[in-house]
Each structure stands twice: as structure tokens, then as C-alpha cells.
Structure 1
């Protein structure tokens, strides 16, 4: 037979010409009949993983065409549209943002830490003005307003990230076709210098170190634990004879890390021994974040006559980092002790710290 393009002789039934490579038979395109007027719309948008989008007929609800869902094939989209025309909107069509949050949280909270759950739950309160809004009506402007109300860059980023996850969950369940949260802009915030405890304030704390609230603040200053990490510490995490504590959360680098007790500050062991003896078992501080702030942190400042302006429990962590740096602790050791994830490749891959070495580094911190 002859090639349909170059005209040369090729073997019968050849799929392609062995001279010019032309395919010898054209694939027949499947013809789809035009949809009946008023029965809805189906079209393909290759930007989406499931490119076939189905919309209900615009005249049915008087608001323009209504999105039904996105599907992997045209046939799936057509079946969904026929089901819609026959039985009405799908079950989740009118799901509110609160409905989506409830479904999403039941799944997502099982894979994150306790502190992350507390953080998401707290941030969800920021969405109060749109919680009852059908998620298909949620737009970038709604979320942008919430993000703009944040008081810090970190909280703004968390709000946006949470909104992105909620909208993505809605997309996965064919409720919306676009993730409007992805278009939100995080505003610029003026970077504030973090407040740390001065040498005079630390000295004031030591003068009142017979009080448990003050002891707790000193413990945080000399270990760098976050407030959530302190609240999660249990008696079995404290290894007094070996001279270290196992604790930490929030990041992979920070989880279950080894934090040595500074050998040059033996009072910390005395505090820990007393707390463990009082509790017996379980958490060292069985209380909420709010109660810890009021009954421990604020009480310690009041007892020590320290002005609370600008001081928060997290300032103890910044104070620890400053003391450690000033004491000459090696950066790679400090990063492991404090639990930051941004290790350099050399420090993370090639430097292996053992407990004895970390304790030796912590001994550089003095009162």
C-alpha cells in the first residue's frame, strides 16, 4: 500500500510509514451531541486534575449557572449532571464553612500534635463572620479580610494556610472548583525586637527562687522549652541521674529532643526533684496554657517585682538562646538543644552529638 503522505510503498496494514513516520489512519473523534437547552453545561478545563466541570442550568435557580463538581471524564460529569437534574443538588452542595471545618478537623487533627490542634482551634475563631457562609460562596475577599485582621505575620500565615486547607478539602469533595484562599496576600508587618529577661531581672527571680512559679520561669530560661512543651512534660521525661530531659514538640526537629540540665546550675535539679516528688506521676504542670500564664508566669513576675511590659512566656526561650550564644555554646549544639529545624547541611548530616557532648556544652551557661 502507499503512504498517505509521501506516497511510497509500505507494508500492508502498516500503522506508520517507515519513511516519513506518518500515521496511516486517523483516530475518529468521538462526537458528542450538543446538550439540550436548559439541561446544564459541561466543559473541559485542563488546569484541573479532574478537568471536566459540570454546571446546573442557570434558569433553574435564577442566579446564573451553579457549579456541581469536577470529574475525571466527560461521562462522569454527564452522569453527575443527569443525577442533579433528576434528584436535585448533591448532599454537600450547601455545606457551610463550619461544616467543612468539622469534617476536615476530624481527619486532620489525627495527624498533628496537640499544640497544632490547639493552634488551629484558636485560629478557627477568627473565621466567625464567615463560618455560616456556604463554602461555594466564599471568595478571596472574605479570607483576605480575616488575614488582614491578624496582629502578626505568623498568625496571618497560619490563617491563610488553614483557609487553603479548608478550601482544598472542599475541592476534594467536589463542592467548589477553585481554591480562592490561595490568592490571599499576607500583609507586611513591622518586625518587633523580641524582649528578653535582663541580667537584673534574672537576678530578681533567683532572689525569690523558693517559690514554684519563679522556679518554673527560671527552668524555662535555662532550658529553652516553649510553654506548650513545659505543659507536656511528664515525670518519666525527667532523667535527673543522667542530667537531661526528653521533651519537645511542634516540629520534627523539636519533637522528643534531649535537653541537658545545665550542670553549673544545680538548683534546677533541685526544682525538678521537688516537682516530681509532689506530682508522683503524669504531667509536671497539669494545667491549661491560660492558667500557666496567669498562675505561674504572671505570678512569678509579680513575686519578683519585674515589670511585665513586653514579657511573655516565649521570651524565656529567646533569653535562653541569648544566654547560650553569649556563653559560647556552638551553634550546631544550640540548634539541637533548642529544637530548630533550620540546621545547616554540615551540622545536620555530618556532626553527630551525643548526650555527654550536649551536657558539656550546657555547662558553659552560668548564673
Structure 2
């Protein structure tokens, strides 16, 4: 069937449903031959990227870990501008601008790889359905890893958190993050036995050998918050008495972000994810003169240079003395920039 009003006037249809429009009779015939050779293609050829995503979400998404699900939930909105396009019309050139935008924003290569991974998964579904015949994600060009700007808490932000902690349990927890450098999962999973309020230190951590069971002093600024949760505990975990969410994903979305948004700390220009607390501990500590070996031990890294982890042993008093530089008397100093994971 032809429609001379269209730039691609040759229409292919099956059972009254339009399958596509083509510039020439030859192109239309080739497409029709492809459809006839693969009968189910007539039912899938017009699926949009969004519909392909729905298939993936129903079939494969439930098999992912909570962390994997969260990763793809975060990345999928990046495709908002193209998700209504038919999957067969989406190619490398359609998705490359999404990668380029991340590069221009200074986002990490890891962020770019997540976009490519999401697109690749959708391409695989589309290939299974005979909608496309190749995985176009493999042709995406990623930028080089450069210096990444990390969002950190300013001194004013920290004051807001500490003031709010008087009436907010979530702000109490955020303050503990800021003054210990613990990762999100490390603090949420901290056993009650890992908290010593007689000598004021945590013993806990995870991820690496250097990070496991490390000593972290509990500074006076957060001692009332730590004691509060110890006394409120209802189980084996330090935060078992917390009335909010102890699942990392839910804590982040339902407790942490809303609290920072309420305080005006998190905005569209400042992402301020939970790891920002850890970056802040490292950044403030470095700028306030905490020695590198102490920071390495507090944060659960092997060392700041290749030898310190082997030849220097820091006892609790040394850690406490160095970490005390984070206390309020130093809060007027400038915050520098350092990289931490």
C-alpha cells in the first residue's frame, strides 16, 4: 500500500496493522520478506524501548540483587527522552548523546558504563524478539575517567544537621556518618557489640581486609547520639531501635534524602548521596591536618602510600587525637577536595 503524502510512502501491514513505512518498494518488500520469515515479528516489530523495558522488568529484574535493581532504577530515567521511540529505530547514534551528556557533566566512567549496560540489556531482549539483529550498545563510545567532582557537606550543612539532630533520629545518624566515615551498609549493619560507650569507640566495618573490624573513635560531638541509639536498641544491631528504615535502599530513599531536602542541603545541583558523608569525612580530615595514615585506618583503606599500612600501627589514642581535629572548634576552616571510596 502506498501513501504519497508521506516521505516514506510504501506501507507494510499485516492483518490491518501497520508494521512500517519505507522509501521504496524494494525496501518495503525486503522488510515484508523478513516478517514472513519470522512470523512472531509481526507482533513485536513496533515495540517501543519502553515496552521492551517492561518485558525486561517483568522477566529479568526480579533476579537482580537489591543493589543491582537500585542501579538500574537510577539509570532508567536517563532514557526518558527516547524511550517512546520504536526499539527497531533506536541505534548507537540515538543513545550516544546520553553518554556524551554524562561526559560533559563530568560524570564518572562508571556512570557511563551503567547507561551502556542498561541499553545492552534492552538490546538483548529486542534481539530475542527479532526486533533488531545486533546489540548496538557495543558501539557506544565512553569517555575517559577524569577527575570527578564529589558533593561534600559544607560547614554550614554540618551545622544544620547537628541542629536538626535534636529532634530528628535520621539527622542523628547522618551526623554519625559525618564524624566516622562509615559506609552506609557498615553503620546500618553495625552490631551493638561493636559499640563501646565506656571508652567511646566503634569496632566494625566491611568490604576489605583493612576495613573489617577497624577502630573508629566516637567523638564528643556525636557521643549523645550514639548513647541515644544504644539505649534505644531493641535487638542485636546498634540501630535496632531506630524507627526508620534499616534497609540501605529504603533508608536512602525514604529517610536520608527527604531529610537533606527538608534542610535545603540536597538540591537538583547537589546530589549528596550517602557516600557524600564519607567524602566529607575524608575531605575535612585532610584539610584540617589529620595525618594520612590515620585517615586510611579510619576509612578502612590499606594505606595512603604504599608503606604506611605495613610499618605504622595507630592505637586508639592516636586515632582519637587525630580525629578530634574534626570537632566544632575547627569548623570555620575551609574544606578541600580529596578522593575516597
TM bracket, shorter-chain basis: 0.5 to 0.7
Shift of 1:140: 1.0
- Aligned match of 1:219 in 153, 176, 180? 176
Q: Does 1:177 align with 2:177?
A: no
Equivalence for 2:272: 312
Shift of 1:315: 3.8
Which has the larger Rg?
1
Distance 1:97 1:115 in 2: 23
The C-alpha deviation readout for 1:175-199, integer Å capped at 9, x for no partner, is 5432212222346899675454455
- Superposed, 1:271-290 pairs within 5 Å as 271-278=225-232, 280-281=234-235, 282=240, 284=242, 285-286=244-245, 288-290=251-253
In the superposition, relative to structure 1, how do residues 224 and 170 fare at CA in structure 2: closer, same or farther (>3 Å)? farther
Q: Is the 8 A contact 2:234 2:241 kept in 1?
A: no
Which is worse superposed, 252-261 or 178-187? 252-261
- Aligned match of 1:139 in 80, 86, 91? 91
TM-score (norm 1): 0.55
- Aligned match of 2:116 in 160, 174, 177? 160
- Superposed, 1:256-267 pairs within 5 Å as 257-258=212-213, 260-263=215-218, 265-267=219-221
Which is worse superposed, 114-123 or 192-201? 192-201
In the superposition, relative to structure 1, how do residues 273 and 299 fare at CA in structure 2: closer, same or farther (>3 Å)? farther
Q: Does 1:88 align with 2:51?
A: no
Query: Which ranges of structure 2 fall in alignment gaps of 5 or more residues?
Result: 1-24, 328-341
Number of aligned residue pairs: give it.
280
Q: Is the 8 A contact 1:238 1:246 kept in 2?
A: no
The C-alpha deviation readout for 1:106-128, integer Å capped at 9, x for no partner, is 5466354x344223112212223
In the superposition, relative to structure 1, how do residues 130 and 194 fare at CA in structure 2: closer, same or farther (>3 Å)? closer
- Aligned match of 1:110 in 41, 63, 70? 63
SS at match of 2:69: helix
Distance 1:160 1:177 in 2: 17
The C-alpha deviation readout for 1:172-231, integer Å capped at 9, x for no partner, is 7765432212222346899675454455765676566534354333212112245x548x
Give the CA RMSD over aligned residues: 5.1
Distance 1:146 1:222 in 2: 37
Q: Is the 8 A contact 2:106 2:148 kept in 1?
A: no
